[in-house]
Amino acid sequence: MKISLRYNRTILKYIGLIIGLTVFIILSFSRSSFSYTSAAICFKCHKKSHFVGKVVHPPVAKGQCIICHNPHCSKYKGLLRDKEASLCYNCHKKDKILFAQGIEHEPVRKGQCLTCHDPHCSNYSNLINGRLADKCFKCHKKLIRHFAYIHPPFKKGQCIVCHDPHHANNSLLLKRDSDDICFSCHKKSKMLRVHKNFPTKDIGDCLSCHDPHGSNNKYMMRKFLHEPYKQNCSICHNKGKVTAEDCLRCHKDISKKLLSIHNHLLGAQGNGCIVCHSPHAGDSKALLRAPQLLLCRTCHEDTYERNQDSLYVHPNISNCAECHQVHGSSRLAMLKEDGNKVCTRCHETQGKFTHPIGAKARDPRTGQEMTCVTCHHPMGTNYKYELKLSGKEDLCIQCHKNY
Amino acid sequence: MRTKVYKVYTISIILLVILVSVPIYSYGKVTGQCSNCHTMHNSQNGISVSKGGPHEELLKDTCIGCHTGTNTGTNKTPYVLSISPPDYGVNGTGTTGNTLAGGNFYWVASSGGADDRCGHNVQGISPPDATLGLTPPGGTPLSTELTCAGTNGCHGDRSIQDQYKAIYGAHHAHVDTGWQDGSTVAKSYRFLLGIQGMEDPKWEYHPDQYHHNKYYGVDRTTEADVSGTISHLCAECHGYFHHGTGQIAPDIPHGVWLRHPTDFDMNNVKNGTEYQYYNGGTGVDNPYSVISPVATSDTSTTLNTVVYHQAGDAIVMCLSCHRAHGSPYHAILRWNYKAWPGPNGYNGCAVCHTAKN
Amino acid sequence: MTKLTLIRSILVMVILTISTAVSCYARSAPWHWILTLRGDASGKAMDMPYSLYVDRMTSRYYVVDTYNNRLLSFSKKGKFLHAFNANRTLKLPMAMLHDTNGILWVVERGKNVLVKIDLKNKKITTFHLKYHSLTLFPDRMHEFNGVIYLLDKMTGNVYAFNKQLELLHCFKAPKSSSGFIDFKVMRGALWALVMETQTVYRFDLNGKLRQVIHLSKEMEFPYSLAIGPTGMIYIADRHKNCIFVFDGTGEYRYSFLSLGQDRGKIYYPSEIDFDPWGRLCIVEEGNGRVEIFGR
């Protein structure tokens, strides 16, 4: 009995120790249990003048440096307690949920808040760490900035008049419907007057004709004009609503491509063509509404993210139409040709010496033809050569099981 | 009682851990990453991956390319060709150095000794024999230079011309333990289709009485060929040294020999002759000699560590005197008979011909 | 407490933990593979099969083997029965149904027609469908109570036709969307999926919108939907290669399956549907097969 009592007391001691240790650990990670150290200690070394500006981040103003920084050590640069975005979202919780909707601006998607924001202080609103336009053009280097006719907001670098720097439901990151944005400055009633010879009673889809940044054409008209638009509106606008059939009447080659297993007839109540193409004017001969990558990204955001986040990706994928038949294809993933020919057009060497592929080489798991894309995923993987699994062994033994 | 229970628990746990963690390791089947031997496209950064390639079966190298190196006793691939002179061991009998059962192609290779008489002239190792051309002694001419495998080779399926196809799948399917019954290439002794035997897991690196290959032989009473024996393999090219009609003296088996016996059991002539004292023994359970080995007709998995233990366990074979790949000596002999009785010579013949030492 | 008792207690806790983990796993993965419909038995593997039709009356599966221009039939147990290509006239069939009168209806993408095949009388009739003079591009097709429902890619709407192909109703996709990507007629309603907004629209069979269900979990590429016997919504994500399950209000419940070629894995699913026996059928374009899962 005595022995058993002693034994029980020992166990209770250990349990108590464990509980106490656990509480201590929890408390030590809980910042609320600490009283905030006055920033005076920090400012003994870090000059206070660096943390003063027109706009000061509230935690900085309150001297709450250790909300973000660990004063002793850290595995993150700047002695941060966590990754950039994780720290920000600790307070900006609602923004985290909001930004995840739709398409995220790349720095937001990558959690690189400090690309645009200064976490301490700034002379610009919203803690932007410099002139807004300078921030935008630092990444968007390829944007043409000099036009004969330039849109004033663009000239002034007021990008956020139209664009949401965090997220939007479209790949151009426009704050809302493009027409709404245009009409917020250019009153619709006035626009109706200046577009009085239009075949439709209403006006809209401003961006199908105008480049909102600028153009060398008068009225900021886009560079390439659709032939019927150039000649006479009534070529298309001759009876009620213009449908895809009207487009296909001229573009017969596209008509054939639509008779494929997968096509990009995108509904849109009968005129799916204008989802991607402007029927009036565009910046490319194909009259695409946006650069191809951005356009495809509108629906294929997941593929874009995969490409951005993977370790190994096929280079130069901005032209999706290089490999994919964008109008219609009867191949998997809407490839232009079968999974061998589409690759070996460029990768000739790999096409000549390769693991057996083609109709006589069948995947034992599915009976499907072996092709390049049986093993490779050009949109990106975390394995070298964009292989679906490690090419050292793991991939091989998916089929060669006995080895 | 409680102590016993704890002991049982402890022992069970230890056994379980051992069973789970210790891998069953066999040198026979190739192991390791596929990319060690194979390349899918033979191209990396615009440069070919395979040496002298491309090669069939998506291989990075040729047979000899992979089997070139220096044996250390721990290598997982047997090296049959060395770039630098191999160590043929004490007494020059190839048992204590770094050569394997087949010897080493070094001495016949263009990159090595370049002596036609010291090894088989194999494509990719040395040019055809300057004297013999494509005709193996005791046999009929080959259509091409000797290859490692295939119709003009030794390993693999010798009915298939292409040597890669001849050996297809064997490296992956092989298990080196147990008796190789010759039914498939993977189940044949050293991938020699149809040839039986048991393989030393270290390919006779430092062999001894208890660690060596077990060669298959058959005691013949006529000069007809037999299948499955290691001597039969040699005879596929060097036929007259093994079998034939009209090329021997009468009064078989007691007549005059025109060819040294092969596939012949010394048990038949042991009693009262010099052969009784094979390898220094007495005539019963003589120690097996790795200098002048013999074959056996016993197909069990018990290694023949002694000779003259049972009938059929002292069968003279081609490999009793010769090596298969190469040796420092002419006629690919296992020992330096020519220099004997000089200091550099060795009378391996005397392992059997005990009265002639 | 003795040491032996302590050891026994620890063992019991370990066992309980493992069984809890197993049951948790079991809860999140209630589906198990039952069988695979493959084309190999026909002498040729399937190539980009697009859809499946299950004939309740004959207990047969019909797989539309699109790239091979044929229809394959299988028994309920998965045994291959027959391959049909209408005398090699089929061109990229996309969907089919076998109505109660023994008539075969096939959507042919290659000619953009709906074909009516009278097997008994060996007669083929071709229809070019129009809606207000707009040529339709039929895609998916289902039948319910003698009415043929067709998804049209031109407008993105679903249309209901009688057997004489007279238009009965139009189920309109939201104007701002690119149209419906899939639909099913189930439980007295028509359920249609819009991909880009990840929303399911429920209509009554007269074409009136009754409910808009926003699916709570972000998916990559929702491509096909099925409505389970208890009203759960199953969505096949074509790029993520898994099935998401939501309740009737759109709340995410769980997901299962993953990318691969082995049994029980999927690759580019093109359609999912429940057969009359409560089994979930997944048509895999990438793997050229149909896999059937049960609980």
Q: Where are the domains of chain C?
A: 31-294
B84 lies within 8 A of chain A by CB = no
Asked if the bond preceding B341 is cis, omega within 30° of 0, the reply is yes
Task: Give pLDDT, residue A25.
Answer: 65
295-354 of A, contacting B, C-beta below 8 A = 349-350, 353-354
CA geometry: angle at C154 spanning C148 and C157, to 5°? 50
Contact between B43 and A353 using a beta-carbon 8 Å cutoff: yes
Q: What pLDDT, in 10s, does the model give residues A204-262? A: 899 999 999 999 999 999 999 999 999 988 888 887 888 899 999 999 999 999 999 99
| pLDDT score for C19 | 59
pLDDT surpassing 90 at residue C72: yes
User: How far is the C-alpha of C234 from the C-alpha of A183, rounded, in Å?
Assistant: 42
Give me the phi and psi of C281, to 5 degrees please. Answer: -105, 130
What is the tally of structural domains in chain B?
1
Strands annotated E in A116-202:
121-122, 149-150, 167-168
For the stretch C96-134, what's the b/e string if a residue is b when 16 or more beta carbons lie within 10 angstroms of its beta carbon?
bbbeeeebbbbbbbbebbbbbbeeeeeebeeeebeeeeb
Q: What is the pLDDT of residue C100?
A: 84
Q: Residue A11: its chain C contacts at CB < 8 A?
A: 1
Spell out the domain ranges in chain A. Answer: 2-33, 42-130, 309-398
CB contact under 8 A, B40 and A375: yes
φ/ψ of C64, rounded to 5, equals: -85, 100
* Within a domain: B220: yes
User: Minimal CA–CA distance to C182: which of C48, C288, C52?
Assistant: C52
Share of chain B above pLDDT 90, in %: 73
The residue type at C22: V
- pLDDT score of B285 more than 50: yes
* Contact across the interface for A391 and B40, Cβ inside 8 Å: yes
Question: Among A375-384, B9-18, C2-11, C32-41, where is mean pLDDT lowest?
Answer: B9-18
Confidence of residue C82 (pLDDT cuts 50, 70, 90): very high
* Average pLDDT of the segment spanning C212-222: 94
Residue numbers in B near C4 (CB within 8 A) = 2, 5
Q: What is the dihedral of CA B150, B153, B156, B162, to 10 degrees?
A: -20
Give the model confidence (pLDDT) of B75-111 as tens digits.
999 999 999 999 999 889 999 999 999 999 999 999 9
pLDDT tens readout for residues A277-310: 999 999 999 999 999 989 999 899 999 999 999 9
* Beta bridge pairs of residue C180: C194
Is residue C70 helix, strand or coil?
A: strand
Asked if the C-beta of C4 comes within 8 angstroms of chain B's C-beta atoms, the answer is yes
Name every chain A residue with its beta carbon within 8 A of the beta carbon of B40. Answer: 350, 354-355, 375, 391
Contact B43 A403 (CB under 8 A): no
pLDDT at B28: 65
Cβ-defined contact of A259 to C92 (cutoff 8 Å):
yes
Within a domain: B6: no
Nearest-Cα residue of chain C relative to residue B3: C4
Contact yes or no for B118/B330 (Cβ under 8 A)? yes
C5 in reach of chain B (CB within 8 A):
no
In the predicted model, is pLDDT for residue C218 greater than 70? yes
Per the CB < 8 Å rule, is C178 touching A258? no
Mind listing the pLDDT tens digit for each residue in C112-148?
Answer: 999 999 999 999 999 999 988 889 999 999 999 999 9
The CA-atom distances, in angstroms, between C105 and each of A223, A247, A394, C289 are 48, 30, 45, 22
Confidence band, pLDDT 50/70/90 cuts, at residue B25: very low
Cβ within 8 Å of residue C272, ≥6 positions away: C224, C225, C226, C234, C236, C243, C280, C281, C282, C283
pLDDT tens for residues B314-352? 999 999 999 999 999 999 999 999 998 888 889 999 999
**Across the beta sheet with B214-215, what order do the strands follow?**
B179-180, B197-198, B214-215
Residue C59 DSSP SS3 = coil
The residues of chain A scoring below 70 in pLDDT are: 1-7, 23-38
Bridge-partner residues for C244, per DSSP? C235, C255
Whether B136 contacts B145, CB under 8 Å: no
At C15, the pLDDT band (50, 70, 90 cuts) reads: confident
Q: Which residues pair with C189 in a beta bridge?
A: C186, C204
Is the distance from CB of A29 to CB of A94 less than 8 angstroms? no
Whether B177 is covered by a domain: the verdict is yes
CATH match of C31-294 with 2.120.10.30? yes
**Chain A, window 323-352: residues with a beta carbon less than 8 angstroms from a chain C beta carbon:** 330, 332-333
Give pTM, 2 decimals: 0.82
According to DSSP, the β-strands at B153-155 and B147-149 are: parallel
Residue of A nearest to C135 (CA): A245
DSSP states along A333-346: GGBSS-TTHHHHTT
pLDDT in tens, B187-236: 999 999 999 999 999 999 999 999 999 999 999 988 889 999 999 999 99
Q: CA C147 to CA A285: how far, in whole Å?
A: 45
Residue B159 located in a structural domain: yes
Contacting partners of chain B (3+ CB pairs under 8 A): A, C
Range of the domain at B110: 85-357
Question: Residues 299 to 338 of B: which have CB under 8 A from any A CB?
Answer: none
Residue of C nearest to B9 (CA): C7
pLDDT for residue B2: 59
pLDDT of residue A143: 87
Picking from C261, C267, C284 by the largest number of A CB atoms within 10 A of its own CB, the best residue to mutate is: C261
Residue A150 φ then ψ, to 5°: -115, 140
Q: Which regions of C12-98 does DSSP assign to beta strands (E)?
A: 32-38, 51-55, 60-65, 70-75, 80-84, 93-98
* B244 or B273, which is more confident: B273
**Chain A residues lying within 8 Å of C287, measured CB to CB:** 365-366, 368
> Quick check: C245 pLDDT over 80?
yes
**Residue B22: pLDDT above 50?**
no
- B2 contacts in C (CB within 8 Å)? 3-4
Assign 3-class secondary structure to chain B: CHHHHHHHHHHHHHHHHHHHHCCCCCCCCCCCCHHHCECCCCCECCECCCCCCCCHHHECCCHHHHCECCCCCCCCCCCCECCCCCCCCHHHCCCCCCCECCECHHHCCCCCCCCHHHECCECCCCCCECCCECCCCCCCCCCCCEEEECCCEEEECCCCCCHHHHCCCHHHHCCCCCEECCCCCCCCHHHECCCCEECCCCCCCCCECCECCEEECCCCCCCCCCCCCHHHHHHCCCHHHCCCCCCCCCCCCCCCCCCCCCCEEHHHCCCCCHHHHHHHCCCCCEECCCCCCCEECCCCCCCCCEECCCCCCCEECHHHCECCCECCCHHHECCCCCCCCCCCCCCHHHHCCHHHC
Task: Extract the runs of DSSP E, i.e. beta strands, from A34-145.
Answer: 55-56, 103-104, 121-122
The CA distance from C121 to the nearest CA of chain A, in Å, is 29
Q: How many CB atoms lie within 10 A of CB A9?
A: 10
Would the CB atoms of A350 and B41 count as touching at under 8 Å? yes
